Structure 1
Amino acid sequence: MRSKKDWGIGDISGMGLWIDALAELNLDLIQLLPVNETPPGVACPYTALSAFAIDPIFIAIDDIPELEEFPELKEEIASKKFQAGLRRLRASKKVQYNDVKQLKFDILWKLYCRFHERHILKDTHQADDFFAFGEKNACWLNDYALFRHLKDTHSWASWTHWEEPLRRHDPAALKEFEAANENQVLFFKYLQWVIDRQWRAVKDKAAAKGVLLMGDLPFMVNQESADVWARQNEFDIHREIGAPPDAFSETGQRWGLPAYQWQETEKNNFEWWRLKVKKSEDFYDLFRIDHLVGFFRTWVIPHDVALKPDFDIKDAKEQRERGRRFLEAISGASRMLPVAEDLGVIPPFVYEVLNELNIPGYKVMRWEKKKDGNYTEPENYPRVALATSSTHDNEPMADWWDTVDYMEKKLFWAMVSGGGEKPPVFSRSRESVVRKLLRAASSLVILPIQDIFGSRDRINLPGTIGTANWTYKFPTPAENFLRKHRELLSRFAAMVKEERK
């Protein structure tokens, strides 16, 4: 979500500009990928080092109020050398995560030091607000801030290699470490406070414009996360999760993430997840439940090669009951609407539970078929559902259109056009596809920006690692969006108004 003022990656304040633009197009929902902090060198948002902490890379530094109290820092940012670095990051066609993060953290540390001097040491109202935020969020913030600085002091070595008392999260050892590193630990709490202030302002703006924000809560966090370190009894680092072999992968998938200790997580009625959902309510109105089927049954791969991968529960009845217990627990944890990512190989009982609990699942236009092999008209999708043309894990419609089997394309176009004529090239069929999706009976419809514009820029290719994944930037900043694409967007806004009555 680029803006002219960003520092090489979309930021929280820039999201406010996009809210303005999208409201003008009669749109009332923005879906975001996960925004939790990731380790250095990791772009994938589904391997976070905290389930709660937002990545400071999204802070809009120019909009931090304390910057006005620091003229020397404003001069540094305005300098020719610094601005040249910003221009390079803004001009990059891909997000340069490491460079952006290093640049921002350097400035944020200086801002925190000034905040500490001007406010914390003088007990100002701003300091009171900061410490009140810390108390309200202590259930996750204390461990996160300690973990982040411990990672820095151990040169990002695995927490499993730390000194034994710190490794096992010993309270006395942690208290001693915090006392010796108070300022550095407070710094990471300060970053989350800054994020909280900025995000709440944007959420208030969205509410005033009638725009809802939909977040994404990943199924799991990185083994190298504050959560796994602080709740070691609830995670199994000797096994990892993934997906079984299917039509897309003959060998299945390994995600490099730890498995749950389900017996432990259920002892406190999924407390960690309930806390995560409750915290997310500060930022979102709806949330996507990533990898829904994993809560019913998880594909687990032991690190011991003598043991075979398998589902953690074999009995279908037990799978059904665990998934239902989980969904009931998190549905009652906040006022947000959950939306279940129920794609892939899904047992029928998963859909039954979603229907019983009135939780929307996904309807991806290109994957919805009738028993006779023809595509399902979006007008016949269920009301309680989210309809979309693509997801972040598959190719945009333009690429799919060019590569899909001709007979499949012909069937799809017959559903879109209502006729049997030859399917045109995607540049001529795109608006018909968009209009057809907008006619979906589903209460929620998401249109990926690539499919609105017919772009072929992919966000992620599962099973691959590289700079092409998770680094996508929309080429136009928010300030120029409506003006530069006025003709296309005017037609699109009219379609939305007409079809989503």
Structure 2
Amino acid sequence: MTVPFSLKPYGNKPHHTGLAVPVFSLRTKNSSGIGQFSDLKILADFAHQAGMDLIQLLPINDTTTFMDWRDSYPYRAISVFALHPIYINLHDFWEDLTDRQQSDLLKEEKELNLLEQIDYERVLDLKWNYIKLLYDKKAKKIQASDAYLKFINKNSLWLEPYACFCVLRNQEKSADFSKWVDKTYSEKVYAKLKANESTDVELELQFFMQYFLHQQLKAAIDYCHQLGVAVKGDIAIGIAHDSVDAWTNPELFNLNMQAGAPPDVFAVNGQNWGFPTYNWERMAEDNYSWWKRRMQAMSEYFDAYRLDHILGFFRIWEIPQESVRGLLGQFSPALALSAEEIERSYGIPLRQWGVERFTKPFIKDWVIDDIFGRDYRDQIIQKYLKYTGFGNYAFDQAYDNQRKIEAAHIDEWIRLGLYQLHENVIFVQDHKNPELFHPRISVQNTISFQEFGAEYQERIKRLYNDYFYGRNYNFWKDRAYEKLPVIKDSTEMLACGEDLGMVPDNVPDVMYRLQILRLIVERMPNDDHFMNPLEYAPYLSVVTTSSHDTSNLRAWWTEDAETTQRYYNEIMGWQGPAPSVASAEIIEQIVKRHLNTNAMIVALPIQDWLGMSEDLRAANPVAEQINIPANPFHYWRYRLHIDLEELVENREFTDFLYQIISNSKRSN
């Protein structure tokens, strides 16, 4: 029976403590080389014994696009409704397997579980191979059950197109539906596949898999609730370009654009996630029904959610389809600048000097020398450029955008230099109206900017600061108020936002008024502080030591000796030279300060909880980082180095955690 569960601000228990870990990172004695939904029960046992009442996860939706390890990226979902097949636990069907199948499964699992990291492709193949065997044996009986029929009927709106997408993707060996015969989904596609005996079986296999994934996840969540442990999910900001949602409702997305993020400490060239951006105007026409259905589906499992990149609901960093890196993006929506305003308000002679001087790559001999070196100038000109007169060059047609350069067989250092040449502009033209302009992000770092005299550099800087730090703030705030209340109010889940990065000043106010919890990472201040002052963390916030995009505390301690020394003396208040390695005692003191903040939730990565034990911490903290944000094709394969059963059985450690939490502001 499902236990009623609620997680609300200012409740009977105002402060909550949790751990953050992806499902795929869990390791148990019955694992198949990866974490699985049923492992959440053992994780909940550990959390409960340690005095915690929340588990925070990464996205768990199906991401099968490339059908290889690149699909390990959990934020590129092919369906915002379907669960990932890789998380199914085959041991739930143990009695349905023959002795030989059981023996083969145990042998394969033993090899996979000995690996330090996930072998994504091998694990997924294993899961599908056994599910197909089980389908052949169990399908008819399961399909006749009331529970199965209820699940299919309730979810048919997304389940039927999802199953069709999977069948056609497998047939075509590509998820790029623009190359399929059926370029847009309709009920006729489903009827056609149902009418064919072989494809009908493939459709039913997808239903079968999703049904059991739902059953296993729901059972795990119910178990968490019985222990008083809430579960917090993660709602990714984007979807895969080649996804069921885009195939089914292409009008809801700008498929010719890519979402990403402007430059930050993680990625100096910006981030290009490759997701289409949302057509918010079209979504508003039916009061964001796609979003409401998405949130309602996730509320079947989660008590709270992390709204990934909440800034995207104010404005998104939108990058042209032909760009590889993020520097040629622009905020969308945004109040772009007209030529008249640029000239009149800022004294920049845009049309007098020629619009192309500002919007096309600025390439001269000395620019080429600066990027590639004088010895390579002739080679670069002859192969990649063409002379346009007056000492200027333009790209040859074969290399006139970054996607063409990406596809070319050239040395990496040349590729990166050509990308930089493409980005050597002052303004980017508006994606909807080329008569309007946006300053290129980090324009002062371009060689084109350096070529201007001091007076014009100051004018460009003034325009840049006005545009990025004030001009759009109220406009973006109004856009957020159009969307966020509708999305938030569609369920009873507690809303938490990931508001890191280039944050406009009014974002915290909007989140406060809507009661959406902020994310506070001590080492990532949004102002001029050396560190985020934890003593001022607002109640409506989630405080953490690290995230899946950062190193953990132990690895961070070794990254910059000067920062570590200052932190050791000023923040921790300890005297003398900082140790070169963060001992368990150091991590403990950092964790205690976080636990004593006023934040409603303190949710620390499991790596940092384990960092407080010299016996349980991993040997190499650097290997515990889950993601490298600058790499769009990072292999997400981190696994715990210890079985969850061992953590549950280690009462000395769980008692230690329980005491620390009980003696903090998190105490009941």
- Counterpart CA distance in 2 for 1:157 and 1:44 is 16
Give the drift of 1:266: 1.5
- Counterpart CA distance in 2 for 1:88 and 1:110 is 21
Partner of 2:536: 380
Secondary structure of residue in 2 paired with 1:215: strand
Secondary structure of residue in 2 paired with 1:167: coil
Give the drift of 1:405: 4.3
- Counterpart CA distance in 2 for 1:84 and 1:348 is 56
Cα deviation 1:321-348 (Å, max 9, x = unaligned): 2212221011111110010000011101
RMSD: 2.1
In the alignment, structure 1 residue 471 sits paired with structure 2 residue 637: yes
Instruction: Kindly report which structure 2 residues correspond to 1:22-171, keeping only aligned pairs within 5 A, or say none.
Output: 22-39=47-64, 40-41=67-68, 42-64=71-93, 68=95, 70=96, 73-79=97-103, 81-120=104-143, 123=144, 126=145, 128-163=146-181, 166-171=182-187
Distance 1:214 1:272, change over 3 A: same
Match of 2:330 among 299, 302, 310: 310
Gaps of 5+ in 1: none
- Counterpart CA distance in 2 for 1:462 and 1:119 is 42
Secondary structure of residue in 2 paired with 1:264: helix
Contact 2:232 2:304 in 1 (8 A): yes
Contact 2:266 2:630 in 1 (8 A): no
Contact 1:366 1:412 in 2 (8 A): no
Distance 1:304 1:4, change over 3 A: closer
Contact 1:376 1:415 in 2 (8 A): no
Match of 2:280 among 234, 243, 262: 262
Contact 1:146 1:178 in 2 (8 A): no
Letter paired with 2:131: L
- Counterpart CA distance in 2 for 1:475 and 1:74 is 31
Secondary structure of residue in 1 paired with 2:506: helix
Match of 1:350 among 473, 487, 507: 507
Contact 1:416 1:436 in 2 (8 A): no
Secondary structure of residue in 2 paired with 1:348: coil
Partner of 2:232: 214
Partner of 2:629: 462
Match of 1:282 among 297, 300, 306: 300
Partner of 1:337: 494
Secondary structure of residue in 2 paired with 1:450: helix
Secondary structure of residue in 1 paired with 2:306: strand
Partner of 2:572: 417
My pick for the range that moved more, 236-245 or 338-347, is 236-245
My pick for the range that moved more, 208-217 or 189-198, is 189-198
Cα deviation 1:49-75 (Å, max 9, x = unaligned): 1111111111111114xx53x3xx242
Give the drift of 1:238: 1.1
My pick for the range that moved more, 487-496 or 384-393, is 487-496
- Counterpart CA distance in 2 for 1:347 and 1:274 is 26
Contact 2:164 2:189 in 1 (8 A): no
Contact 2:142 2:148 in 1 (8 A): no
- Counterpart CA distance in 2 for 1:463 and 1:198 is 34
- Counterpart CA distance in 2 for 1:119 and 1:327 is 40
Secondary structure of residue in 1 paired with 2:276: strand
In the alignment, structure 1 residue 2 sits paired with structure 2 residue 22: no
Contact 2:495 2:515 in 1 (8 A): no
Secondary structure of residue in 2 paired with 1:172: helix
Partner of 2:427: none
Instruction: Kindly report which structure 2 residues correspond to 1:394-433, keeping only aligned pairs within 5 A, or say none.
Output: 394-406=550-562, 408-414=563-569, 416-418=571-573, 420-424=575-579, 425-427=581-583, 428-433=585-590
Contact 2:161 2:244 in 1 (8 A): yes
Gaps of 5+ in 2: 1-25, 336-471, 612-617
Match of 2:547 among 386, 391, 402: 391
Give the drift of 1:304: 4.8
My pick for the range that moved more, 487-496 or 417-426, is 417-426
Cα deviation 1:138-173 (Å, max 9, x = unaligned): 22111111111111121225111001xx11223324
Cα deviation 1:257-302 (Å, max 9, x = unaligned): 1121221111122221111110001111100000110111111111
Question: Taking structure 2 as the reference length, what is the TM-score of the superposition?
Answer: 0.69
In the alignment, structure 1 residue 365 sits paired with structure 2 residue 522: yes
Letter paired with 2:99: E
Partner of 1:176: 192
My pick for the range that moved more, 42-51 or 108-117, is 108-117
Letter paired with 1:287: Y
Contact 2:88 2:213 in 1 (8 A): yes
Contact 1:375 1:411 in 2 (8 A): no
- Counterpart CA distance in 1 for 2:508 and 2:532 is 17
Secondary structure of residue in 2 paired with 1:390: coil
- Counterpart CA distance in 1 for 2:578 and 2:322 is 51
Partner of 1:452: 609
Contact 2:271 2:629 in 1 (8 A): no
